[in-house]
Chain A
Amino acid sequence: MTDSKYFTTTKKGEIFELKAELNSDKKEKKKEAVKKVIASMTVGKDVSALFPDVVNCMQTDNLELKKLVYLYLMNYAKSQPDMAIMAVNTFVKDCEDPNPLIRALAVRTMGCIRVDKITEYLCEPLRKCLKDEDPYVRKTAAVCVAKLHDINAQLVEDQGFLDTLKDLISDSNPMVVANAVAALSEIAESHPSSNLLDLNPQSINKLLTALNECTEWGQIFILDCLANYMPKDDREAQSICERVTPRLSHANSAVVLSAVKVLMKFMEMLSKDLDYYGTLLKKLAPPLVTLLSAEPELQYVALRNINLIVQKRPEILKHEMKVFFVKYNDPIYVKLEKLDIMIRLASQANIAQVLAELKEYATEVDVDFVRKAVRAIGRCAIKVEQSAERCVSTLLDLIQTKVNYVVQEAIVVIKDIFRKYPNKYESVIATLCENLDSLDEPEARAAMIWIVGEYAERIDNADELLESFLEGFHDESTQVQLQLLTAIVKLFLKKPTETQELVQQVLSLATQDSDNPDLRDRGYIYWRLLSTDPVAAKEVVLAEKPLISEETDLIEPTLLDELICYIGTLASVYHKPPSAFVEGGRGVVHKSLPPRTASSESAESPETAPTGAPPGEQPDVIPAQGDLLGDLLNLDLGPPVSGPPLATSSVQMGAVDLLGGGLDSLMGDEPEGIGGTNFVAPPTAAVPANLGAPIGSGLSDLFDLTSGVGTLSGSYVAPKAVWLPAMKAKGLEISGTFTRQVGSISMDLQLTNKALQVMTDFAIQFNRNSFGLAPAAPLQVHAPLSPNQTVEISLPLSTVGSVMKMEPLNNLQVAVKNNIDVFYFSTLYPLHILFVEDGKMDRQMFLATWKDIPNENEAQFQIRDCPLNAEAASSKLQSSNIFTVAKRNVEGQDMLYQSLKLTNGIWVLAELRIQPGNPSCTLSLKCRAPEVSQHVYQAYETILKN
């Protein structure tokens, strides 16, 4: 046994030599040669030139040789399709072999050869093999159907293989069942709308029976398939859960995780009052803990999943803190994940232990891990109030170590602690200030500056400290610059007399010497505030800050629910929906948890409330960095302050002017100051005003323009509505509307960045929808979207996307991605954007069609409060592509006969009855697809009323 020699042939003329050996008469020599070929193939050499010679070796009774030749064929058949045909006969013959192992081998290999001509020949043997008497052949043939479907889906459907495959679910052999389930699940994934798997209580029962009997892998296929089933009621959900729970004791971790997935999903349907619900919760904990004694790679997968489970149902593992303690020899990826879960599980009951552990970790060697541990201590302080003091003292101990990155990390978290517990731990500020010089990371510098600004009144040399930062102002990162600006303004508002010079300096640095629009804007706002109304400035800048929440890095609830449906899979490892990393349509079907049962759940709204928080509480999640920008969000930038206009060039700032009477009002707290009666507007105050004015008017012009365009083309455009609130999308707010202009549909979007981070890399995707709406071009956001910036984008849409019936019909599910995350929302589009321009039907045709459509398809609606006469209505509707075919006057009523056509070719005929003087009119709709009527009516209503 020295096959390794095959790996070492690298001489010239090798191919030629191999050719000779392959054609040798001696069997042994032939075999040797094929082995050499396979070895060369493995290391990446191109041995396709030997194709005919290798194929010649195929007809042999030596099974080992045969398998090697097959292996070669699978690799090279595609590059030599004509030659590959030579092999077909042998395959077909082998499929008839008396030995089931050879029959299976032939059908298995044939499915791997992706050559059209071969595929044709595969159908007959495959059909036989699917009904073979031997289960080994049947289980191989089941997978082969999936292979064939991957090559030619249409062929599989035409040949009726899908039905045969469905029949195999009732096979007597468990492994055949399992492979059939696997194959069907895969095929179904590429046809989400087809009811291929057709799961019903009977078939579920069959699967559950097979579950007890098949191999570990088969159990995984079946459990993963079960997870897609939606039980019809809680009783069915419970009975499935009961039959799945024994799997939790399986030695194979993947079986356990797939069982957990089924249970977590179906639990949604069980009432929390049920005894069984509690039992199930208890049963879930031990197997999850056991997963942590698996090999490290599996531990990692398990921990990523536990992270999701803990967020969804914190009660399951709340007593299991200890098992997440980090071991010295754990690989770093396991350590980091454990730490994450420890923070999530920290509570008053276990905080002492957790803190002791975290302190231990902070002395380890891996920088990332140490940082995370330090940060975790801060999180504990915020989460468990009783521990805050201990956490702070632990952090101070760590600062004493003077290890650079530990100190910086500690300062960042102490800032959050200050925010959570104002006026409690300020005594440590002195210690923090000692470490000012060692801070070199922007986040830590910004945090320190924030602290100095916030507590300026307690730090004697606050001005000196801040001044020292000011020296290198332009070299700082934006984060630090913004923070420094705000801190100095705070300092000024607290100690106005000594810091005038400083504040002037920073304001001019920010507004004149910087080309960062955020910094300039913030500078101007402060400047104007200070100059017009210092008391208001104080109220704004020193306003009470909203409380920060206890939990951070929570996964957005809808995403979390989706990920729960993907437990055990890659999506749960990446914490991303499959669409984020899987190409094409496969596996991108949006999964969701079953709707929660109504009983005892009414108090909380499970869909929106972050699950990590106790019910009823709605914590606002801490923004990733900085927080002051939030204070400014409510400022109205609109009308420029009235003041004497001045030349923009003269930006010499007079300190006296700036302070003027404002200083007095600031010092004395009398309300009279607010009116600013004794306040002379400083000349410089006009600078921003001046700057602002032209921009402002320019903007409004723009707005005029857009609204003009909207009315011009006729088709009614609804005002923009907020589709995705910033709260749900980590600061990205999307509002929008749909328009139709001269035959093209577009989606007008307005993206607003309400986060503190620049957003880039925007992309958009639609789920399949009823009318195949799809973006016709990528989402073009040309520049990065900086905080508080808004862009307007018009996204052209096409109607050639894939179609799936939605409920309601005009529902559109949209995914928007940016550099931060992927967000989902759904919106309803008005149907009239789908009314095409050539929707006018010929009179005769109209009459015939009207008669032709059965009466039960007719729907009648009342449109109230619409005092229009027939002419006005007709022209209004025409501009939205509803065409009047004929008009009649019957008994004083105006009857309008109208037609319209949807993008997918559906005609809708309408009869609109208008009675002069009566504000309501009657609309009768006839259509071959009556489900659209309701939406057409809505379109009528919106068009007529606007």
Chain B
Amino acid sequence: MSNSHSDTIPLHPSSQSDIDEIENLINASVQSGPATVLPARPPSPPRASIPVSSSPFIQSKIPPPPPQSSSSSNHKVPSVPAAPPPPPPVGNSSSIVATGFGPPPNTLTEPVWDTVKRDLSRIVSNLKLVVFPNPYREDPGKALRDWDLWGPFFFIVFLGLTLSWSASVKKSEVFAVAFALLAAGAIILTLNVLLLGGHIIFFQSLSLLGYCLFPLDIGALICLLKDNVIIKMIVVSVTLAWSSWAAYPFMSSAVNPRRKALALYPVFLMYVSVGFLIIAIN
């Protein structure tokens, strides 16, 4: 078994621990091995063989651990026993946890910052894919597979809050109407597509419609800062067109081409009504 630093073949996560175990057995039986074999090395990254067996097998979307963690786990200090599981990596800021025998990296035990960072990066990547569609991107279907609902939630709440801040009277009613309009609107739009015989996944569509609200969020923020009616109308028209343009490919591809207008008109209607709300609130 080569323990050299040049071993850069990325190992399968579940086979690392096998290799570690075998190494331990070999090295335990050769306690007085030659000093050249294993100089002192930093302890291996902790493995998450956490005895949380009651949790269901949840396949998280963390990519498999990068090669350097696999090669560094080869450089184990021989005397570190493998039996007691290492303590959870509370202070550890490395984002990837090497796997144990059981389920892959358990998201329950990682640092909160890791979870938040992962979700934030997903929101950002979904946003880039949905709202700034690049025709030359490598994987057009990625946003569709990797949907999440945090992004849409933030955008809807932010829009409601912005409208509520801009309103001079009845602030809470404005927030309530805006939130209800957007949330119910997204659900109704998805139902509309489904009823027209389209093929769309419910939550995925909610997610996409939520992300397409991002330009209107920006528009609302600008309107909050600048109170001139003409500027508001221009800004809202531009962001409205942008939102509709972002939502167009997803909605139109989901239904029969003869019914495309039937599926797209409600989307346009919802964004126009939100845009109107932004202009009207002063």
Q: Do A and B associate with each other?
A: no
